[in-house]
Structures are given as structure tokens and as C-alpha cells.
Amino acid sequence: MNKYKKIGLTALAGSLVATSAFAGELGVSGSASINMEHTNGGAANKGKTFSMGNSVVFSGSGELDNGMTVSLSFELDRGDDSSANTTAVMAGAPFDSHSVTVSSDALGTLKFSGEGGASSASSIDTSAAGDIWDTFDGSRGAVTAVAVTDSATGNNSVFYTLPTLMDGLSINASYKPQASSRESGTGYGVSYTGIDGLTASYATSDIVGSTAALSGDQTVWKLAYAYGPITATASSSEYDVTTVASDQDMTSYAISYTVSDEISVTYGTEEIEKGGSSTDAEYSAISASYTTGGMTISAAMKDAENVAHGTASNQDFEYWTIGASFAF
């Protein structure tokens, strides 16, 4: 039986007593956020909302005698506890994700994930503007949610990344077995960072569900290019579902400007087409953030039109948020 090489033990939260057959490296990290949000328009979510979120991640790693590395990660996440979401969040399990990873330079990386494990497609952030939309999900969640998605939480998954074949090139494959009423999925992805400033990613997943409305495929691509303080990004996510009315295509663009080491500004847009509808949902947002040490203060203004793919006035939102997040 291989034993871990002893590489130290770090105490978690003051004192941690651990008994095991090996000694490894353990750590804890996390984040907390406080936000004040205001929504104007729409049929619901009007007025101001105060929300908080927090997460704690426990991680550990060790090296086997044969040079392979084994690591684990376990995240507790209470998410957003705003008044609109408190009941649902408190009723659910606090586990956001957990995984075990085995890797070596010669054989690549094999990751086993539990709750919320990534697939080849879902490992690519399909929003060009990244987390600019995070606190906007209450208004746009009904639009971006589709019947078919291989990132369904609750599915265990296997994610394999090939060993490095050439500088900047990464190739992966994923598999999610079907669990209960959730769908299964197989996926393949590739990314390339071999050109200075450029990041290109592409992935596709085939999804098999319990019904035709839960079966189809997803194709994702993303391009980002950084030149000095400016980064331009474009991305696309396309769901082709057996039931055409459930098809959904999302196209996203963003540009970010790093003013200094502490200050950055981002502007992003998204357009979502849905099968059976002639009206697209459209989103735009601008955000600014200031980071000092482990604290980030941010503010954003966001606009949504035709969120349910219709033209009624109650499908338009104006939204702003200001908040602070802390990393440790």
C-alpha cells in the first residue's frame, strides 16, 4: 500500500485533530459577501433587497511514493440568503461541491466530483462578462435555465484531462451517469493558451434524459484576448433539444479595463434566443470594483429586456447593486 510522503499539517480554525494512515497538507479558505440590491420594473422582485452569502472550502493534498498526487476539496456554501431566497436556501443542503483528484505528469488528471461536478461544457464560463451577472440571477435565472443541461446539480461526474501534449493545449473528456430523474451526459473539450494574450475554449456534450424534452446536446465556445490593460471576450452556448421549443442559444460579449492593480471596470451584454419565440431576451451591465487586500468593493448597473421572450412591460428590469466581498 502506498503511503503519502509527509509534507506537513496545517491546523484548521485553531485546532484540528486528525487520525489517518498518512500525513498530508490540509488547508481552509473561503469567502463572504454583503450586497444591497434594488430592482425597478418587472412583475416581481421590486424594491430593495439586502443579501449575504458565504462559503468555506476545505482542501487537502498529498504525494504518493510513485509520484502521483491525490487531492480533495469539500465546499460548504449557503449562497444568497436574501428575503426572496431564504426559505429555499435554508431548506437545501449546504454542500456546493466535493471532489477527489488523482494526477500525474505522465497520465494526466482524473477528477471524481459529487454535488455540482463539472462537465466539459459546464467547465467553460459561458458568460463573457463572468461574475458581473452573479447578483442578477434572480431576474435572469428563468431565462437561462433550460430543460437540458449536463451541469445538473446532484449528478456525480468523472472529468479527465490528458497529459500535456504541447505547450498551451489542454484536452478533456467528461461523463455523468444518469441518477434518478436527472440526465446523463458525455462531453469533450479543448482549450488553447499558446498565443500570448489569447485564450480559446471549445466543448460539446451529448445529454440523454428520461424524456425527449430532457435529451439533446450542448455546444460551447469562448474566446478572450488581453492586450495591455484591456481584455475583450466573446462566448456562445447553444442547446439543441429534441423538443425544438426548448432550444436555447446565448451569445455574450464583454470588455474589461484594468485601471490599476486595485481598480477594474467591465461592460457586458448577453442575447438569448429561445426556440418557438421570435423575441430575444437582452441583458447589459456595467460594473466597477476596487480590491484592497482580501476585500473587494463593487457596484453595478444592469438592464434586462424581454426576460420571458415577450414584449410586455413587466418583462423589463432595471437593477443596481453595491456590495463588498471578503476572501480568506
Q: Does the reported pTM lie above 0.85?
A: no
Q: Phi and psi for 242 in degrees, rounded to 5?
A: -55, -40
Concatenated DSSP letters for 54-77?
A: EEEEEEEEEE-TTS-EEEEEEEEE
Q: How many domains does the chain have?
A: 1
For the record, the C-alpha cell of 72 comes out as 480533495
Tell me the average pLDDT across 30-42: 83
Q: Copy the grid coordinates of residue 137.
A: 440571477
- The per-residue pLDDT for 69 is 93
Predicted local distance difference test score (pLDDT) of residue 313? 60
Q: Which residues contact 42 (CB under 8 A, 6 or more apart)?
A: 139, 307, 314, 315, 316, 317
**Rounded mean pLDDT, 186-191:** 92
Radius of gyration, alpha carbons of the chain: 21
pLDDT digits (tens, 9 = 90+) for 269-314: 988 888 767 778 888 899 999 999 989 999 999 888 877 666 666 6
Which domain CATH number covers 234?
2.40.160.10
Cell of 218: 450542448
Establish if 224 belongs to a structural domain. Answer: yes
Q: Which residues contact 296 (CB under 8 A, 6 or more apart)?
A: 289, 290, 324, 325, 326, 327
Q: How far apart are CA 246 and CA 278, in angstroms?
A: 13
**CB-based contact 251:281 (threshold 8 Å):** no
User: 81, 94 in Cβ contact below 8 A?
Assistant: no
User: CB-based burial of residue 92 (10 Å sphere; 0-12 exposed, 13-18 middle, 19+ buried)?
Assistant: exposed
CB 234 within 8 A of CB 128: yes
Q: How many residues make up the chain in this entry?
A: 328
The distance in angstroms from the start CA to the end CA of the chain is 36
Mean pLDDT score of the chain, rounded to an integer?
Answer: 76
Is 273 contained in some domain? Answer: yes
The CA-atom distances, in angstroms, between 322 and each of 88, 297, 319 are: 24, 8, 11
CA distance 260 to 220: 32
Confidence bin at 17 (pLDDT 50/70/90): very low
Residues sharing a CB contact under 8 Å with residue 76, sequence separation 6 or more, in sequence order: 55, 56, 57, 94, 95, 96
pLDDT at 8: 34
**Helix boundaries (H) for the chain:** 86-91, 137-144
What would the pLDDT profile of 78-126 be if each residue is shown by its tens digit? 655 544 444 444 444 566 678 899 999 999 999 998 766 677 777 777 6
Average pLDDT over every residue of 197-208 = 90
Identify the pLDDT of residue 321: 87
Instruction: Give per-residue pLDDT as tens, 123-149.
Output: 777 676 766 655 444 444 333 434 444
Task: Identify the residue whose cell numbers are 435572469.
Answer: 140
pLDDT score for 130: 67
Q: Which domain holds residue 264?
A: 25-327
Residue 1 in domain = no
Tell me, yes or no, whether 2 lies in a domain: no
Gap between the Cα atoms of 170 and 238, Å rounded: 22
Q: Which residue has the cell 475554449?
A: 201
Is 20 part of any domain?
no
> What band does 21 get if pLDDT is binned at 50, 70 and 90?
very low
